[in-house]
Amino acid sequence: MSDYVNNGVDKINATLGDIKGDLTTLRPMIKNLKLLVLGSFSTQSGSGGVVSTTIGADNVPVKSLSVGITAVQSGSGDPSPTNIRPITGWSGANVYVSPTLDAQDGTTYPISFGDVGTVYGGTLNVTTGKLIVNWVDRDLSVDTSWSEQTWSGKDANAHYFRGSGFGGRRYGGSTSDVYGMCDSYKWWGNGTTTTLRNLSNLEFGYQGTNSYVWIRDDAYTTAADFKTSLAGKHLVYELETPLEYDLTPIQVRTLLGENNIWAECGNTACEYRIDRTLYLNTL
């Protein structure tokens, strides 16, 4: 009886193996058939944030297109009061569709962020107009209160200042995560009132799950003088809860065949229509 059962099991396993092999063969065929029927192909950004294809449909709107928005920090080296590294956001996005990587060879779709103003980080769904903003800019001296932090045994020559008024910033995460950028001080991380005592001179960090920002700057001995020095210095920080806005949707169209789709402000993801004849020629 056991031999009968074992033989039956072996036959079932063999049959399942054949079915699995058939499915492996059929999957690419099913994918090709799906592409021909639906006429679409989804891809994520490639090298340099450019979506590229050689089988684009002629003058057909893309199904979906989203672009990332990333602030640009100029200069090099650690930011400091003597090595200011300005942080630049975006007041709009230019989306390019070109047969080459030269924007002048194709079509430019300008998109203004309008009343939203300058965006320092987020994403824009071009086809729906949904703008998600998750990084904002603050002047460190505006609408903030600064106090010097002291404790028993602190080095008298080291000066730590704590600023309040940064509500809404991202909280958790490890100290290796970067969710703050400053043009004048180096990012240290997220910590506690104890661990933030490890700040080196000209570094800044966040205190836990509240609105406090710590900065160590040994050049100042009073909070008043330190706050005065912060005028015009900027902190760009990630929000715990992103802001959402609705812009006017833009209809972006592909060219026949060669297409490169990108935006200056960040990476691009696109789902576009294909030309069936060109696709068949690739099989």
State the pLDDT at residue 45. 59
pTM for the model: 0.82
Tokens coding 218: 């040994």
**Measuring CA to CA, which residue among 127, 130, 118 is closest to residue 89?**
118
- In 3D, which of 149, 164, 276 has the Cα closest to residue 213? 164
More confident residue, 33 or 85: 85
Cα–Cα distance, 254 to 60 (Å, whole number): 6
- In the chain, % of residues over pLDDT 70: 81
The residue among 105 and 276 whose pLDDT is bigger is: 105
For residues 144-172, give the mean pLDDT: 91
The Cα-based distances of 25 to 16, 19, 20, 30 in angstroms read 14, 10, 9, 9
Beta carbons of 154 and 182 less than 8 angstroms apart: no
CA–CA distance, 95 with 109 (Å, rounded to integer): 5
Residues in a beta bridge with 53: 259
pLDDT for the residue numbered 220? 98
Please tell me the least confidently modeled range out of 9-13, 92-96, 110-114, 246-250.
9-13
Give pLDDT tens digits for 192-211: 899 999 999 999 999 877 78
Q: 46: which residues sit within 8 A by CB, 6+ positions away?
A: 52
CB burial class (10 A; 0-12, 13-18, 19+) of residue 68? Answer: middle
- Residue of higher predicted confidence among 80 and 12: 80
- For 4-30, what is the mean pLDDT? 53
CB 66 within 8 A of CB 124: yes
46 phi and psi, to 5 degrees?
Answer: -100, -150
Contact 199, 212 (CB under 8 A): no
pLDDT score at 256: 96
The whole-chain average pLDDT of the chain stands at: 86
Q: How confident is the model at residue 13 (pLDDT cuts 50, 70, 90)?
A: low
Determine the Cα–Cα distance for residues 199 and 58; give it in Å rounded to an integer: 57
Higher pLDDT, 115 or 29: 115
Bridge-partner residues for 107, per DSSP? 97
Q: Is the model's pLDDT at 35 over the cut of 70? A: no
C-alpha span between 202 and 184 (Å, rounded): 8
In this prediction, residue 5 carries a pLDDT of: 43
Backbone angles phi, psi at 104, to 5 degrees: -70, -15
Question: Tell me, what's the pLDDT at 170?
Answer: 78
What are the CA-CA distances from residue 212 to residues 8, 21, 40, 188, 204 (Å)? 70, 59, 49, 14, 11
- What pLDDT, on the 0 to 100 scale, is given for residue 3? 53
Q: Is the confidence at residue 176, as pLDDT, over 50?
A: yes
- Mark out the alpha helices in 83-233 (DSSP H runs): 223-229
Section 242-263 average pLDDT:
96
Least confident of 51-55, 96-100, 167-171: 167-171
Alpha-carbon distance of 279 to 4, in angstroms, equals 51
Encoded amino acid at 60, one letter: V
Q: Quick one: pLDDT band at residue 9, thresholds 50, 70, 90?
A: very low
137 forms bridges with which residues in the sheet?
236
Lowest mean pLDDT among 86-95, 138-147, 204-213, 242-251: 204-213
**pLDDT score for 48:** 67
Cα separation, 46 vs 102, whole angstroms:
16
**Between 10 and 104, where is the model more confident?**
104
The 8-class DSSP code of residue 199 comes to: P
Whether residue 268 contacts residue 49, with contact meaning beta carbons closer than 8 Å, is answered with yes
CA distances in angstroms from 202 to 50, 81, 86, listed in the order given? 37, 8, 16
pLDDT at residue number 4: 46
Query: Is 226 within 8 Å of 220 (Cβ atoms)?
Result: yes
